[in-house]
């Protein structure tokens, strides 16, 4: 085949195209469909649009007098964990997530607050009830099945009587409004001692055994034929 004969043959075009058929791009353009832009073109267009919006906001004064204006961004140079937004929300809102901790962690945190957390309770019964409830929850946590290869964390129980004693010594409500416990006890002891002293000093206030033994009725019952027993004892 000569060169002239080869030039006269039809051009088949790209693979998969029908010879002599118009290109797909031309058909879409005739129908008003624009071709999809490339990735580089799309990125440039988006970047240009974002820049235009920022410039427009700056001209309108949307960025004036912002709280963080002129200050560096926080943690911009450090790597954050996937939960950075949640941590930031907790810090900003001062949220208490103690209820979200595992059972052992909650018990440890509650135990670390003793006895300061007991000072607001009204009386000793409430303090004892709180501490006994804590010990019951500690035992319930120990009975809970543990999942994992490591040993489960164990929280120790508290000494109820010792903490009640701390509360009683530090809490103002544990004292008597009319005086301290020592004063009340001393007053009671003094009254009893005075009563005993009065009984010993007054001959009319003898013991029941002395009155019975010295009485004539008892002597006549024991020895009815002995008149000498009726004599008053010296």
What is the DSSP-derived secondary structure letter of residue 68? T
Q: State the maximum Cα–Cα separation within the chain, in Å, rounded to a whole number.
A: 179
Predicted local confidence at residue 159, as pLDDT: 96
pLDDT given at position 205: 52
Q: What is the pLDDT of residue 186?
A: 44
Domain ranges of the chain: 102-145+154-174
Q: For residue 84, give the H/E element and its range.
A: helix 84-93
Cα separation of 210 and 199, whole Å? 12
Kindly write down the DSSP assignment for every residue of 76-144, as one continuous string: SSS---TTHHHHHHHHHHT---GGGS-HHHHHHHHHHTTTGGGTTSSSHHHHHHHHHHHHHHHHHHHHS
- Cα 194 to Cα 171, 186, 199, 200, 211, distances in angstroms: 34, 12, 9, 10, 21
Q: Report pLDDT for 192.
A: 42
Tokens of residue 126, six digits: 């409430």
Q: CA-to-CA distance for 185 and 187, rounded, in angstroms?
A: 5
Q: What is the pLDDT along the chain (234 residues), one digit of tens a residue?
A: 555 554 555 555 555 566 667 777 777 777 777 767 677 777 777 778 888 888 888 889 888 888 877 788 777 766 667 777 888 888 888 888 777 788 888 899 999 999 999 999 989 999 999 999 999 999 999 998 888 888 888 899 999 999 999 999 987 656 544 444 444 444 444 444 444 444 444 555 555 555 555 555 545 555 555 554 455 554
Q: Are 176 and 187 in contact (CB under 8 A)?
A: no
């Amino acid at each position: 085949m000569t060169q002239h004969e080869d030039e006269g043959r039809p051009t088949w075009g790209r693979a998969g195209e029908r010879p002599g058929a118009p290109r797909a791009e031309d058909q879409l353009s005739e129908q008003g469909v624009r071709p999809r832009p490339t990735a580089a073109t799309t990125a440039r267009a988006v970047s240009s649009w974002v820049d235009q919006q920022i410039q427009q906001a700056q001209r309108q004064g949307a960025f004036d007098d912002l709280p963080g204006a002129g200050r560096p961004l926080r943690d911009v140079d450090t790597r954050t964990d996937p939960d950075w937004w949640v941590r930031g929300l907790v810090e900003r809102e001062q949220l208490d997530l103690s209820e979200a901790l595992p059972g052992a962690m909650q018990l440890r945190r509650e135990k670390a607050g003793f006895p300061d957390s007991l000072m607001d309770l009204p009386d000793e019964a409430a303090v004892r009830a709180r501490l006994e409830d804590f010990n019951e929850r500690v035992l319930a946590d120990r009975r809970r099945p543990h999942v994992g290869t490591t040993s489960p964390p164990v929280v120790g129980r508290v000494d109820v009587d010792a903490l009640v004693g701390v509360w009683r010594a530090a809490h103002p409500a544990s004292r008597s409004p009319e005086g301290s416990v020592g004063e009340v006890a001393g007053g009671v002891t003094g009254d009893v001692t005075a009563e005993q002293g009065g009984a010993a000093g007054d001959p009319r206030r003898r013991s029941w055994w002395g009155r019975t033994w010295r009485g004539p009725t008892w002597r006549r019952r024991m020895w009815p034929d002995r008149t000498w027993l009726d004599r008053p004892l010296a």
